[in-house]
Amino acid sequence: MEVQHFSHEEHPLMLVEELENDGENEVVCSGCEKSVSCGPAYKCSQCKFFLHKSCAELPPEIQHPVHPNHTLLLQAPVSDDRYCDACGRRFKSCFSYRCHSCNFDLDIECVSASLPTKPDDGHQHEFVPIFQQFHFTCELCGEDRNIIGAQVCRICQLLADSLCALKPSTIKITADRHLLTLIYSLGKVIKEHDNVFCKLCYKKLDPNYAGYYCQECDFVAHLGCALRPRQTIDSSIDLIEDGIDFEEKEELEELQHFDHEHKLIISRNEVEVHDHKLCEGCIQSISAPFYSCEQCDYFLHSKCARLPLKKRYLSHPHLLTLSARGEHIVDDHIVFCNACNQHSHGFSYKCHNCDYSLDIRCSSIPKTFKHEGHQHSLFLAVSSVERCNACDKSVSWLSPGLFVCTKCNFALDFKCATLPLKAKYEYHPHLLSFTHTIAKNDSEEYYCLICEEERNSDHWFYYCA
């Protein structure tokens, strides 16, 4: 039987059941550098090249518990000096397994060693408890502990607290459509070490410790953030991106909307905007472009008329369905939004699996945006526990999160982030601006001129200069 082996491409190798040995020259395997004294082996008939049968048949790619985050590739003998990261032994003229992204090497002896695993809890290593109290730093989360029952991995001596030691190796969360993998040292896989933020809380993440990571989209999260309630979902659920199932992707001159019996005609000119008319979808003032009905008093912004019928929202595990005003009524066409905690009688996205709704404004706000009231960009943090800087309220546990700044201590909840920047009060001739600026020389600034109650100077307000 002849084979062509990648480590000796110039000549084919012949399998023999027993090598002939003259007793003077030891036959050494080029794969493991050990003697080929008995048993089947491969040899080259034209030069002194030998391989144990087991070495010649090593798998070209393996997943090993000592380096669980990436696959290891079988390497032929290399010209430069390398050392096994498991035992420290130098190898230069034998086979090894290598992870190129981490510069991690294992000699084949360490690969072949019997390494126990514990598949029943999803972890690649076998942790054993230490039944004495001592102070240590968990090498997975980085927190200082002083407990009884620390866990140590008998394979790689990784020291962790009991909760971190039982983290699942892969999870699926609502915020990313791929499986996330538990990475024990994020610094080996992330591209930038100095400015890494958890994509769920947008706090800085230490690359020296563990986290959940998606290599396909470079998504990274703290252990605790990824495993919070309402974040993890069943791995069989197929996550989809926002913006699916558009009725029309382009602005048509006329369309038939499912919420209205008559055809709607588009208007692109601001001159055609009707004063004090509201969009039936988002309940905001009409602005061009918009659709209107020539037979009755019905208006829809163009973007509201072309909303997707189905969408997946970042922090909710189920698919949401677009519902018109009459399809889910609490009281007189009123719907409660779980993001801003406000009632609305416009369109909303409804979950048919649970009692969860998002109004159009909250469901349409981007995950990253620039608010005029703050100098930096804001990011949707679905696991943040900050308080809103505009109203000083904390978010409810049902809320999809709040928008935070990664450069300073600033946050906006959904209610304040979606409030209109301009508002009209019927008894005042000018538009009011949503602002946090305080005119310190004007004593009236500290009172609301409608209810005449003193207002909190730290809260944002509507103001006419």
DSSP 294-310: SSSS-EEEHHHHT-EEE
Domain limit, last residue, from 70, 90, 112:
112
Portion of the chain with pLDDT greater than 90, in percent:
6
Q: Strand pairing partners for 369?
A: 378
Contact 205, 196 (CB under 8 A): yes
Q: What is the pLDDT, as a whole number, of residue 249? A: 55
Q: Which of 69, 42, 79 is nearest to 58 (CA)?
A: 42
Domain limit, last residue, from 76, 96, 112:
112
On the question of pLDDT at 121 being above 80, the answer is no
192 or 117: whose pLDDT is higher? 192
Element at 42 (helix H, strand E): strand 41-43
Residues 208 and 158 in one domain: no
pLDDT digits (tens, 9 = 90+) for 173-219: 877 777 888 888 888 887 776 778 999 899 988 888 999 998 888 88
Which structural domain range is residue 186 located in?
A: 170-233
Reduce the DSSP state of residue 313 to 3 states and report it.
Answer: coil
Contact 169, 182 (CB under 8 A): yes
- Total domain count for the chain? 4
Portion of the chain with pLDDT greater than 70, in percent:
83
Q: Is residue 132 in some structural domain? A: yes
Q: Is residue 250 in some structural domain? A: no
Q: Is residue 83 in some structural domain? A: yes
On the question of pLDDT at 238 being above 60, the answer is no
Q: What is the pLDDT, as a whole number, of residue 403? A: 92
Domain limit, last residue, from 78, 96, 112:
112
Q: Where are the beta strands (DSSP E) in 371-447?
A: 377-381, 402-404, 411-412, 422-424, 431-435
Q: What is the pLDDT, as a whole number, of residue 379? A: 92
Q: Is residue 106 in some structural domain? A: yes
On the question of pLDDT at 65 being above 50, the answer is yes
Q: Is residue 228 in some structural domain? A: yes
322 or 45: whose pLDDT is higher? 322
CA dist., res. 273 & res. 266, Å (int): 11
For residue 30 the two structure tokens come to 């080029």
Residues 132 and 157 in one domain: yes
Q: CA-CA distances (angstroms) from residue 422 to 285, 303, 349? A: 10, 20, 25
Q: Given phi > 0 = left and psi -120 to 50 = alpha, else beta, which region is 257?
A: beta
On the question of pLDDT at 288 being above 90, the answer is no
Q: Which residues contact 25 (CB under 8 A, 6 or more apart)?
A: none
Q: Is residue 154 in some structural domain? A: yes
Q: In this structure, what CATH number is given to the domain that contains residue 144?
A: 3.30.60
Give the distance, in angstroms, between the CA of residue 316 and the centroid of all CA atoms in the same chain: 13
